[in-house]
């Protein structure tokens, strides 16, 4: 039976989950995997927290040097989050000949190339299943389950915090601030929720997932990003009445004009499988040219779900002598030969507050026509006296043309305000 020594950097929520799984299932892994896995050491500043987890005091390291110099440690698990000191610690582990398993999407999205270069030099594993979509094994599917396919698109709810907020806004008719406070109270959102609600977290994840899906490095600079802070509950309600559900989506598409990668609030049809993914759950929808459609669903965060993905990587690294590295040119700035779409195409939902006067709709329609944008549907909603709300749904149009048209509409005397502007995926 193979003996495997593990070190855990950080014993917070996720690190605690990893420690729990590895210690409580030690005998199970012996029976099912023929591996004797032992947590040899943990790096944790809060000694009391480590002791409360059941870690022996002699196994609590006070600095990274104690970890990387430990000959009994084969695999280092990094669950600290952020870029520093995580980057420095991971590099030291790799340079010391230790394989690394990480759940750190920001670190990986920003420094994948650098970390992989060091892993290759030392011929050790660099595993990152838990960096995207928590316990859902999307990385393994992309690496080992879809080789027969050129993936056409990847689309998913990949941030549980925003999905919880949008779910509560839809179900409870709550405004954004109220839903955010509830998410913070329950621990779904941080005190400073910027990374989640402004779409940074989802951007890191779709950068990693799209790189694997399209076999080319997708840097975070290649991802269009927009968060949910500007979403009104009225738009969610109006969308629902018109057959749409609002989600923050990470989207990657292979197009004739290049790779199209973005994160933004998106209306999907109510009968779309992603529309029924609620609360903090995540889901990813893949389309392959051979297999067709595949959807993976599960918990995108949490101690045990994320711990599950990390331990899966630990076992994979322990059982495979050949290490997996990116099958594409993994440069820091990506492959210069890869084309990215700078002006994507989408359908749009626009809500306008206008003066309730004759001829207003004709003027608005005229601006869309001048922008070569075809209107699919128009609805007028009740509003305050002398004002009306008009909702326009368009056929597919270029983003640049749509934004120019929005500028033209805003300049009209008859238009009081553009209240909603949301893209549609069907």
Angle at which helices 233-241 and 160-172 cross, to 10°: 70
Q: Which residues contact 192 (CB under 8 A, 6 or more apart)?
A: none
d(CA 125, CA 34): 19
Q: Give the integer Cα–Cα distance in Å for 128 and 112.
A: 10
- Element (H or E) spanning 399, and its range? helix 399-411
- Per-residue burial over 19-30, b = 16 or more CB atoms within 10 Å of its CB, e = otherwise: bbbbeeeeeebe
Q: What is the Cα–Cα distance from 102 to 78, expressed in whole angstroms?
A: 5
Q: Which two tokens stand for residue 366?
A: 């005229």
Catalytic (active-site) positions: 205
Q: What span, in angstroms and rounded, lies between the C-alpha atoms of 299 and 311? A: 16
For 401, half-sphere exposure in the C-beta direction (CA atoms, 13 angstrom radius) is 18
* Length, in residues, of the chain: 426
Residue 137 near residue 305, CB atoms below 8 Å = no
The two three-digit tokens of residue 370, written as one number: 């001048």
Q: What DSSP letter does each residue of 210-248 carry, written as one string?
A: HHHHHTS---GGGSEE--STT--HHHHHHHHHTTEEEEE
Separation CA 344–CA 341 (nearest Å) = 6
Alpha-carbon separation of residue 269 from 104, 241, 275, 425, 426 (angstroms): 32, 11, 7, 8, 6
Q: CB-based contacts of 323: which residues, under 8 Å, 6+ apart?
A: 99, 119, 123, 124, 125, 126, 317
């Amino acid at each position: 039976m193979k003996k495997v020594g593990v070190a855990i950097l950080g014993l917070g929520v996720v690190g605690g989950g990893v420690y729990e799984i590895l210690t409580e299932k030690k005998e199970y892994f012996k029976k099912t995997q023929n591996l004797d896995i032992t947590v040899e050491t943990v790096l944790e500043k809060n000694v009391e927290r480590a002791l409360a987890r059941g870690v022996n005091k002699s196994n609590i390291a006070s600095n990274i040097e104690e970890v990387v110099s430990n000959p009994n440690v084969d695999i280092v698990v990094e669950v600290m989050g952020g870029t520093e000191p995580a980057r420095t610690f991971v590099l030291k582990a790799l340079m010391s000949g230790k394989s690394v398993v990480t759940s750190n999407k920001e670190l990986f999205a920003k420094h994948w190339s650098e970390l992989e270069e060091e892993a290759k030099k030392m011929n050790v594993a660099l595993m990152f299943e838990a960096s995207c979509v928590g316990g859902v094994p999307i990385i393994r599917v992309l690496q080992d389950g879809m080789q027969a396919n050129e993936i056409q698109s990847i689309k998913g709810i990949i941030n549980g915090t925003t999905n919880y907020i949008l779910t509560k806004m839809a179900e409870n008719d709550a405004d954004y601030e109220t839903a955010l406070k509830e998410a913070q109270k329950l621990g779904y959102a941080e005190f400073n929720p910027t990374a989640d609600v402004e779409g940074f977290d989802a951007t890191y994840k779709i950068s990693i997932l799209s790189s694997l899906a399209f076999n080319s490095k997708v840097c975070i600079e290649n991802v269009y990003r927009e968060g949910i802070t500007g979403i009104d509950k009225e738009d969610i309600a109006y969308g629902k009445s018109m057959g749409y559900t609002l989600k923050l989506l990470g989207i990657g598409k292979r197009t004739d004009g290049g790779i199209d990668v973005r994160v933004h609030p998106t209306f999907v049809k109510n009968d779309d499988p992603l529309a029924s993914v609620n609360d903090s759950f995540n889901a990813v929808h893949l389309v392959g040219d051979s297999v067709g459609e595949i959807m993976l669903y599960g918990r995108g965060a949490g101690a045990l779900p994320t711990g599950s993905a990390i331990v899966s990587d630990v076992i994979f690294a322990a059982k495979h002598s050949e290490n997996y590295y990116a099958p594409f040119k993994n440069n820091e700035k990506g492959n210069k030969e890869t084309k990215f779409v700078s002006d994507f195409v989408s359908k749009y939902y626009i809500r306008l507050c206008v003066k309730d006067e004759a001829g207003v709709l004709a003027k608005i329609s005229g601006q869309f026509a001048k922008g070569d944008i075809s209107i699919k549907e128009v609805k007028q909603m009740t509003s305050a006296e002398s004002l009306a709300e008009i909702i326009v749904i368009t056929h597919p149009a270029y983003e640049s043309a749509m934004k120019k048209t929005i500028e033209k509409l805003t300049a009209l005397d008859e238009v009081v305000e553009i209240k909603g502007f949301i893209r549609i995926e069907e």
